[in-house]
Structure 1
Amino acid sequence: MSDAAQPTVDEVRAAAEAVKAALDRHLAAVENRSGANDPAVYAAADALARAVDAYDQALDDGHGELLPFEVPVGETLPAYAGPEEPEAVSVLIRRDYLVADPDRLLGRARRVVEPTGGPVGTLNGALGVLFGEYEPDEIASRCEEFGLEEGDSTLWVTAAEPHGPGEWLHEPFEDADPELIICRFDVSSVYDDELAVLDPDR
């Protein structure tokens, strides 16, 4: 139990109700998502994680009890140190994939290349073909068709200085400063695992 002032019974119950409401909002966002990376779903997941964290703290302070799971809420990020009105923003995206079916990956690449070009004989070559042919969002939504298994992903929107054409291409990620993050959205199976504890029937 922490040294903070103990919350009242009503305050603990209010925190629990906030979790229930956040669950409903998250489900509604998922049911109405506009695509594989809908920002509304990310925002609802983040709000749910924060509601669970607040309830966990209230439960500990009020009753000396902890939830049997943890939900990451991005507390390791430093405080925002960028301008209040940025002149420009950078959108940084990382998506990880497991090469789950190399034969399928090669086969899909060969279907793209071989009618007009040479054969594809390596996985690296196949990846170059597919990521050159398809937009990243399309690959994300169809990854199983390409022999890939979706892993974690994150999207950062950071404050940036205006740049002219080609100015940053030689070092595209040099300015990836966590202190300039305006908003961040993470997708990970860890969230599904933690939410499954909340609702074992999922």
Structure 2
Amino acid sequence: MNLDHQDQDVRPIKDLDALEQVEDTLLNNFKYGVRNLTIFQVGKATLLRANDVLNLKYDDVFDEGDEVKRSAYIKDKKTKKSHRIYLNPVVDDLYKYQRWLKKHDVQSRWLFPNSRDSNKPLATTQYYQVMLKVGDLLGIGYLGTHTMRKTGAYMVYKQSNYNLALVMKLLNHSSAAMTLHYLGLEEASMESALDKIEFH
């Protein structure tokens, strides 16, 4: 399955009610709901690609005392660049997930192990199927593996007072145009934003 092709129509979730519904469905409509939601929350808060989220190891995130680290250092699989991800925004989610792992006696070097074989991480194709099912259940046709990253980027953009440079840096993009396209900011919404600017 070509995920890049499948994810071409994926857009950020801009509506907070829709976002709550997606998160609630991820948690409550699957056997591995806590895992599925934690993947989504980590992807949304770190702006990592799904592949990089799913390839996190347990000790990337938790220290020897089983405490969540302040930051994780990872190598981006696509660009091969090393970078630091800030974990503080998802510390509560990670502790809830850790309790779930212990309760179900799941032990693996991977943070998000495959439910069939804990020696492997959950595959991106499997998480794509999860997101597809959420979309089907809620009647949302634009969900995919990039949803969490795009949604997180959009939230940072809106809540940082449209700080495009910050979002570009977090996404590791090389141009503002690429970031605007990634955020799904159509010309209409850009024009609407410009209408509110006073140029005198």
- TM superposition score normalised by structure 2: 0.20
Structure with max Cα Rg: 1
Greater fraction helix = 2
Greater fraction strand = 1
- TM superposition score normalised by structure 1: 0.20
Structure with the bigger RCO (C-alpha within 8 Å, sep 6+) is 2
